[in-house]
Structure 1
Amino acid sequence: MLIKQLVLRNFRVFNGTHVIDLAPRKRQNDDNSRPIVLFGGLNGAGKTSILSAIRLALYGRLAFGPATQQQEYVEELSALVHNGSTTGERPSEASIELVFTYNKGGHEAEFTVTRSWKKGKKDQLSLQQDGQLLEELDYDQCQGFLNELIPHGIADLFFFDGEKIAELAEDDSGNILRTAVRRLLGLDLISKLRNDLMIFVKRQQSSQLAGSQQQKLAELEEQVKQFAFQTEQILEKADFAKMRIDLLSKEINRYEALLNAQGGAFAQTKAQEKQKVDTLLKEKDRLEKALRHECDSSLPYALAPKTLERLLEQISAEIQIKQADSFEKELTQFLTQLKNDISFRSGTTGKIAAEAIEDNLKDYLAGKPKGELLFDISEREAGMIQQSIEKDSKKAWQRFDLYRHQLAEVEEQLEQAAANIARAPEDDQLFDIFEKLRELDRKRESKRQEYRSLLEEAKQTKQLQLDCARQVQKTHDLARNQHNSDSAFNNAQETINLLDRYSELLTQARVKTLSANFEGAYRKLARKEDLQLNAHINPETFDVELVDENASVINRKLLSAGEKQIYAIAILEALAKTSGRDLPVIIDTPLGRLDSQHRDKLINHYFPFASHQVVLLSTDTEVDERYFVDQLRDDISHAYEIVFNAHTKSSALKPGYFWELTKEAI
């Protein structure tokens, strides 16, 4: 397959008609076409729109996912019509035209797919082959033809973006790869053929049943259809309810943003702030009382430590003076009595001895402290003062210091709370928004209950369908045991068994090929210091185990972001090669999470050889000037730059890239 041209009209950011040539070109004196068509654009310019347009042109509703309902598809299409500001009226319709060649049955034909739609309407689809409109094909037939031409599951391996790479890189469960392998092997077609044969077998069995049994079987099969239809209807209602829930959630988010913009965040905490102010005021009053109490106690002693030190010295000196005075008085009385006793008993000799003792004691008392008593306090009072100054005042200061810091914090919190209250608008200013939010929240909760109820009802209806299906199967099993089978019946049974065996052998062979292709792709893209990985794929579960050179299984969670990206790209290349399809490769923003060495590997060893036609959609930081001028120049057929106009909110394409190739490089 070769995509020759893409025509966009009023699609997403592209206003008007844009014709894009995608066919690789030859350069002068060059026999081979250069495979890469490069698109450059900044984020939001419209690179992803190119990939989305190709997928939408080919697959319609499937481009948005296999579970997309018809109404959702119409809404998605309406959102894709260009909605930028223009000088005239905004367009109400859009279209995509894709021209490609495809070799089918040994004959190469050119196909032109045109998909157009209007806002709020279902799309129109037409298909031309070699310039002739295939009028005999209606919409569903055209879509079926395209699905058979390029199966959607296969196209996922060739048309992908950076998100697809990241999704596969982070897929620890292996579900994404498992689904890709099943589609690649065509097991869905084998399963469809097997189911058709099972229907034939059951019909053969039914024809052998008695009339009453056939009627009962017909009734059961009709019930299975009715329950299946009811389940589908209920699930559609549930999907619609889920859609309403999402819309209401978006509306609630919008009003919450409006509320915050108008001070709603402060308004919602206004009552809490007022309650906080009351608590803080009480705490402030308590702390102020505690501070006053400390001021009334021993705290003042801590304010003049030097003066109070002198006071304690004075009090200590006075105590010594008083003790000396008391001792002198007692000693004087004792000396008077002693002199009288000595003079009375010893006469002159005793008198001389008494005077000598008196003189010595006077000399002794002369060395004792003397001075004026300023305070004249008792030793008990002095001890109390000393206790207050040396111990109580220090503890009082510690408590005072703690209280004043706490008071400063409380006052700061009061200022902040007062500022928050001042910022909050009055309640009546936000009343309407609050009421709208309450109303939307009630509606959303009601829809959530409805959604849960519908899911439960669908579950019960599905269970009834399964019960009826089991009864149908039981009846068929009974018929198979009661009657001999004819040749057609036997052939069908044998074919079913053959299909199972074929599916098993095909899976084993393809899985072996896929493992070998992965190893080759990974070794080509990995750096020397990266792990040397092999892939072991279980042919029954399709679980992938990465095994290093020592045959040890590696936990993919332990790989770096770059290694995971390289692993994912190697898997995609291996899947594409194993598919045997000759399709273009389209990659949107593939280098976002890679380091410079991994980027070099991808630029040099993947892009130029990925396919005969490679469409790269890149920013200026991915395929930068060095890659563009030095490494990809021999492989680039031509390039486009997507330029976004902020005034018109639309993009246009111009030939070239962010940097022009020099004449010497060309």
Structure 2
Amino acid sequence: MIFLELVLQNFGPYFGKQVINLDPKIDKDNSCPIILLGGMNGGGKTTLMDAIRLALYGPRAQCSTRGNLSYGDFLTQCVNSHAPTNEKTRIELAFEHIENDKPVKYRVVRTWEKNPKDGKDHLGILDIRENDEWLDTALVNIWDEYIENLLPVGISNLFLFDGEQVKELAEQEIPPPIVVDAIRALLGLELAERLAVDIEILTNRKRKELADTKDLANLEEIEQKLKQQEEEYQATKEVEISLATSLKDAEKEQQEAFDKFISEGGKIAAERTQLEKQRDQKKAETEESRQGMCELAADVLPLALIEPLLTQAQTQAEKEFRISQAQIARDILFERDKRLLNWMSQVGISEEQIDKIKTFLDQDVETLNSSFLQPEELWLLADAETLSQLGNVLYYLQNTKNLAKQQLGIFKNKEEEIITLERQVQTAASPEDYNKLVQALQKAQNHVAEVKANWEATRRRVTELEDVIEKLKKDLKEYTVQTIDRKNREHIIAASAKVQDTLKIFREKLTLRKLNKLEVEVTECFRYLLHKSDLVHRVAIDTHSFSLSLYDLQGTPVPKHRLSAGEKQLLAIAFLWGLARVSGRRLPVAIDTPLGRLDSSHRSNLVERYFPSASHQVILLSTDTEIGQKEVQALRENEAIAREYLLKYDSSTRQTTVQPGYFW
């Protein structure tokens, strides 16, 4: 499907007739995917999206400004305020698609005036054959069914979307129900579910045909109960989903209150008494250490001031002691030599021999004197006991010095601990602020507890209703087996039950197959857009809620909160892109405000990687700050833009005109 042309006449801010060529074909042989429309905020970009939706779906269109207005009031609201009373408001959308392997072109025309009769517009479908157009009245009567086969309204928001929708999808853990329904429709999962419902209707119809009056009454009573329980189940399930969202919000507020409680000194204020007690204990330990150091100073520690003198005295004493010992030894040897010479004289040794021996002994004594008895004044005159006491003092002094260093280190550590504790006490909140922080935290905690209690009660009720519904279905089946299935048409019901079982297996396998393919496509799209291959290796999709889970290369879950806001939006866009690729539908993609909340790097990724590849036709509605001069130049250089328009808004007349070209 390709949008060829959009014509607006007196619609919203568009005064008069405005024609926008949307055909991506530049000439017969060349085409580019992007149709770029620039406009400032409030200049009519969203109105163009509404016009496309309104042309296709009429009363069923999900337009941005409709709200709770009736269709007639909405049409009146869309009439240009300066339009002449005799001119009608008009929207035309020409498009092309393949039908029976042949291209066909239609022009959808909707016209109305203020306060339209019966609250409706006038619909016309023109069949375009070459340059001729002729009204196809038969197609007008079945238009809703026809367009549902091309672009169902349920999935239109997945192809015609805006930046705020992407932001909302990125911030939610679980896609909203309307998106889930659209995903099921896009993947074709709703067909199997619709078939299951149709078979159930057929089965119930056959049961009623086969039952007698009493059986029919009992059967209808069971069915009525089942219907009531299913309605209550759906309502309760919606409440449970809402409460789950509220619980996440409440837990987020509780975490914020707790973070504020910590950052503003609430936790320290709560521990003030304990901190002050620790501080006083440290002060006592410091004083005890100080006292121990005083005791050391009162003992031999002051002698450390003259330790070099004491060491010098010890050295001198030892030296004098050795000299004294050598003198004693010399005197002993001298007396012995004397006796030896006398003896030798007595035993008749010759004088010549005695003189030689005496000369030798004199030389030996001289050598002894020169080696050990150097001439030096002995001034310390310390005895052996004094020398021993001096050695003991020096040894004890060294141990005392080591102990003093250890005590000093302990003293410094205690003082640092005291300073740290005093700083913590000083950063504690005041009693008034502490009470406010505690009250805010308690309020948040109470709110979480209340919401969680309601959520758990609702969840239990959902489980109870599931059990009740299952029992009623079982009773209905047993009732059928006992009273009705004995009839001549029991094979229809039995066959339906088998078909339901088979269909259930088929739905499960179809869902897994589709989702497996979707996971591959979303992962590929996300990694391609993210351009950061090491962050996420695989994207998994839950088969029930369609919520996304991320895993790295090692298979470890990657929490979504680790992603930046821009990365989350890229993930949402990758999800929509993957859906479009898996669906197999060749449909145009229109994006309003595509880059408003992305930083420069993520914008560059979308401009270079997503926009040219999102579809065969991509309609971009952008402000000058989203697709700026740099981005549009990149798209032009890549030959991705087929046509450019500027929505020129005149604030004085509050009118918008469509002009060729872009901001630059």
In which range does the TM-score fall when normalised by the shorter chain? 0.5 to 0.7
Give the structure-2-normalised TM-score: 0.59
The whole-number CA distance in structure 1 between the counterparts of 2:490 and 2:341 is: 160
Equivalent in 197, 203, 206 of residue 205 of structure 2 = 203
Q: Which amino acid letter does the alignment assign opposite residue 463 of structure 1?
A: D
Q: Which amino acid letter does the alignment assign opposite residue 319 of structure 1?
A: F
Look up the SS of the partner of 2:330 in the other structure: helix
Q: CA deviation at 1:374?
A: 4.7
The whole-number CA distance in structure 1 between the counterparts of 2:399 and 2:656 is: 81
Q: CA deviation at 1:162?
A: 9.4
| Mapping of residues 98-177 of structure 1, within 5 Å | 101=92, 108-110=108-110, 128-130=120-122, 150-159=152-161, 161=163, 164=166
| Mapping of residues 154-553 of structure 1, within 5 Å | 154-159=156-161, 161=163, 164=166, 182-189=184-191, 191-232=193-234, 234-235=236-237, 238=240, 242=244, 245=247, 249=251, 252=254, 263-264=265-266, 266-285=268-287, 287-288=289-290, 307=309, 310-331=312-333, 334=336, 359-360=362-363, 363-364=366-367, 366-367=369-370, 368-369=372-373, 371-377=376-382, 382=387, 401=405, 404-477=408-481, 481-485=485-489
Shift of the 233–571 alpha-carbon distance from structure 1 to 2, 3 Å rule, reads closer
Contact 1:339 1:351 in 2 (8 A): yes
Task: Deviation per CA, 1:195-217: give whole Å up to 9, x if none.
Answer: 13422322322332355544443
The whole-number CA distance in structure 2 between the counterparts of 1:306 and 1:654 is: 101
The whole-number CA distance in structure 1 between the counterparts of 2:386 and 2:251 is: 78
Look up the SS of the partner of 1:156 in the other structure: coil
Alignment partner, residue 20 of structure 2:
25
Q: Are 1:635 and 2:635 counterparts?
A: no
Q: CA deviation at 1:331?
A: 3.7
Q: CA deviation at 1:437?
A: 3.1
Contact 1:267 1:424 in 2 (8 A): yes
Task: Deviation per CA, 1:133-176: give whole Å up to 9, x if none.
Answer: xxxxxxxxxx99999984233421442649859989x99xxx99
The whole-number CA distance in structure 2 between the counterparts of 1:61 and 1:386 is: 109
Look up the SS of the partner of 2:280 in the other structure: helix
Task: Give the alignment's Cα RMSD to 1 decimal.
Answer: 6.8
Shift of the 127–407 alpha-carbon distance from structure 1 to 2, 3 Å rule, reads farther
Higher alpha-carbon deviation: 50-59 or 405-414: 50-59
Q: CA deviation at 1:130?
A: 3.8
Look up the SS of the partner of 1:483 in the other structure: coil
Contact 1:264 1:430 in 2 (8 A): yes
Q: CA deviation at 1:419?
A: 2.7
Contact 1:102 1:109 in 2 (8 A): yes
Contact 1:39 1:615 in 2 (8 A): yes
Contact 2:52 2:93 in 1 (8 A): no
Structure 2: unaligned runs, 5 residues or longer: 69-75, 80-89, 96-104, 125-143, 534-542, 547-552
Q: Which amino acid letter does the alignment assign opposite residue 461 of structure 2?
A: E
Q: Which amino acid letter does the alignment assign opposite residue 35 of structure 1?
A: I
Higher alpha-carbon deviation: 341-350 or 184-193: 341-350
Q: CA deviation at 1:635?
A: 2.5
Task: Deviation per CA, 1:81-119: give whole Å up to 9, x if none.
Answer: xxxxxxxxxxxxxx99699656799661338999xxxxx
Q: Which amino acid letter does the alignment assign opposite residue 220 of structure 1?
A: I
Q: CA deviation at 1:423?
A: 3.4
Task: Deviation per CA, 1:8-57: give whole Å up to 9, x if none.
Answer: 9xxxxxxxx97799977359xx999982213578xxx9999999999999
Contact 1:113 1:128 in 2 (8 A): no
Contact 1:526 1:601 in 2 (8 A): yes
Q: Are 1:614 and 2:620 counterparts?
A: yes
Contact 2:163 2:594 in 1 (8 A): yes
Contact 2:286 2:414 in 1 (8 A): yes
Q: Are 1:589 and 2:595 counterparts?
A: yes
Alignment partner, residue 12 of structure 1:
none
Task: Deviation per CA, 1:243-278: give whole Å up to 9, x if none.
Answer: 665665566567557656764354244345324423
Q: Which amino acid letter does the alignment assign opposite residue 420 of structure 2?
A: Q
Look up the SS of the partner of 2:108 in the other structure: strand
Q: Which amino acid letter does the alignment assign opposite residue 129 of structure 1?
A: D
Q: CA deviation at 1:447?
A: 3.7
The whole-number CA distance in structure 2 between the counterparts of 1:633 and 1:641 is: 23
Q: CA deviation at 1:495?
A: 14
Task: Deviation per CA, 1:546-602: give whole Å up to 9, x if none.
Answer: xxxxxxx999999x98998997676355357x3355564546229865596884354
Look up the SS of the partner of 1:25 in the other structure: strand
Q: CA deviation at 1:493?
A: 5.8
Q: Which amino acid letter does the alignment assign opposite residue 644 of structure 2?
A: I
The whole-number CA distance in structure 2 between the counterparts of 1:658 and 1:345 is: 145
Give the structure-1-normalised TM-score: 0.58
- State how many pairs are aligned: 552
Contact 1:238 1:455 in 2 (8 A): yes
The whole-number CA distance in structure 2 between the counterparts of 1:190 and 1:211 is: 34
Alignment partner, residue 649 of structure 1:
none
Shift of the 208–410 alpha-carbon distance from structure 1 to 2, 3 Å rule, reads same
Shift of the 555–100 alpha-carbon distance from structure 1 to 2, 3 Å rule, reads farther
Shift of the 113–188 alpha-carbon distance from structure 1 to 2, 3 Å rule, reads farther
Shift of the 473–186 alpha-carbon distance from structure 1 to 2, 3 Å rule, reads same
The whole-number CA distance in structure 1 between the counterparts of 2:220 and 2:628 is: 62
Q: CA deviation at 1:4?
A: 6.7
Q: CA deviation at 1:310?
A: 3.4
Q: CA deviation at 1:462?
A: 1.9
The whole-number CA distance in structure 2 between the counterparts of 1:6 and 1:315 is: 122
Contact 2:159 2:587 in 1 (8 A): no
Look up the SS of the partner of 2:488 in the other structure: coil
Higher alpha-carbon deviation: 204-213 or 99-108: 99-108
Structure 1: unaligned runs, 5 residues or longer: 9-16, 65-76, 79-94, 115-125, 133-142, 531-539, 544-552, 644-651, 662-666
